[in-house]
Amino acid sequence: QSMLTQTPSASGTPGQRVTISCSGSSSNIGSNTVNWYQQLPGSAPKLLIYSNADRPSGVPDRFSGSKSDTSASLAISGLQSEDEADYFCAAWDDSLNGPVFGGGTKLTVL
Amino acid sequence: QVQLQESGPGLVKPSETLSLTCSVSGYPISSGYYWGWNRRSPVKGLEWIGGFYHGGSTLYNPFFKSRVNISVDTSKNQFSLRLSSVTAADTAVYYCARWSVYGSGSNRFDPWGPGTQVTVSS
């Protein structure tokens, strides 16, 4: 049912910058804002980025988000071992009249 | 600090009804916000199930059609999920969350409960 598409996996070494992409359509990303959630192993999802590029209090500025047309990206700079997690994008979908999530990207820190 | 905690049976038989409760502390659910349910399974990833607004309106994912019902007990500061006619495809970790819904399609889930595993099996 995922209507947002993410690459299943990504990896990087400590200190590196990695980018995770999310592709949607005109009914979701194309017309609404994007959120990103981080899910550490064994934990609940946590809001990481909202409204395309805003960070909740407490989220390091190593995490940044952007959106262009029907795609969005999450960038993580200065990669750390504790960043190893699943990352999900999400956006409101006008056809569904509710939010849709991406399939998730598993980030491995080598 | 708002905290949420899911509770309910971890095993449900096929064709029966899944019932979960979300207990909220640190914020009266009658004071505002939407409150929602999501789930995550290995096959389908994260899925939005539905949610309700403290004022009484509800939003449900059409995928679940008439199988889903979300209710609220403000006296206990809890809200509940009922999903009927379950199959193995409903096996997942179920999460409740506070849901901010604004105009122009802006919305976010924050915070989330720790989640509860529900397995559908005979």
Please report where in the chains the tokens 């209710």 appear, as a residue. Answer: B71
User: Percentage of residues in chain B with pLDDT exceeding 90?
Assistant: 84
Nearest by CB to A47, which of B44, B109, B114? Answer: B109
Q: What is the mean pLDDT of residues B9-30?
A: 97
Q: Do B106 and A51 touch (CB under 8 A)?
A: yes
Q: Do A45 and B109 touch (CB under 8 A)?
A: yes
Among A4, A7, A36, A39, the residue to mutate for chain B (most B Cβ within 10 A): A39
> Could you tell me the pLDDT band of residue A19, with boundaries at 50, 70 and 90?
very high
Please report where in the chains the tokens 């071992």 appear, as a residue. Answer: A81
Please give, rounded to a whole number of angstroms, the shortest distance from the CA of A48 to a CA of chain B: 10
What lies within 8 Å, CB to CB, of A62 at 6+ separation is: A76, A77, A78, A80
Measured between alpha carbons, how far is B41 from B87 in angstroms, rounded to an integer?
Answer: 13
Cα A45-B50-B6 angle, rounded to 5 deg: 50
Confidence at residue A67, expressed as pLDDT on a 0 to 100 scale? 97
Confidence at residue B56, expressed as pLDDT on a 0 to 100 scale? 78
Phi, psi (5° rounding) for residue B6?
Answer: -85, 150
Phi, psi (5° rounding) for residue A42?
Answer: 75, 10
Confidence at residue A20, expressed as pLDDT on a 0 to 100 scale? 98
* B70-119 tens-digit pLDDT: 999 999 999 999 999 999 999 999 999 999 988 777 899 999 999 999 99
Confidence at residue A1, expressed as pLDDT on a 0 to 100 scale? 55
> Could you tell me the pLDDT band of residue A2, with boundaries at 50, 70 and 90?
low
Nearest by CB to B46, which of A31, A33, A88? Answer: A88
Q: What's chain A's average pLDDT?
A: 95
Nearest by CB to A101, which of B46, B60, B106? Answer: B46
Cβ burial of A70 (10 Å; 0-12, 13-18, 19+) is: middle
Q: Do B45 and A101 touch (CB under 8 A)?
A: yes
Flag whether pLDDT at B55 surpasses 80: no
Contact indicator for B23, B5 with CB cutoff of 8 Å: yes
Please give, rounded to a whole number of angstroms, the shortest distance from the CA of B84 to a CA of chain A: 19
> Could you tell me the pLDDT band of residue A11, with boundaries at 50, 70 and 90?
very high
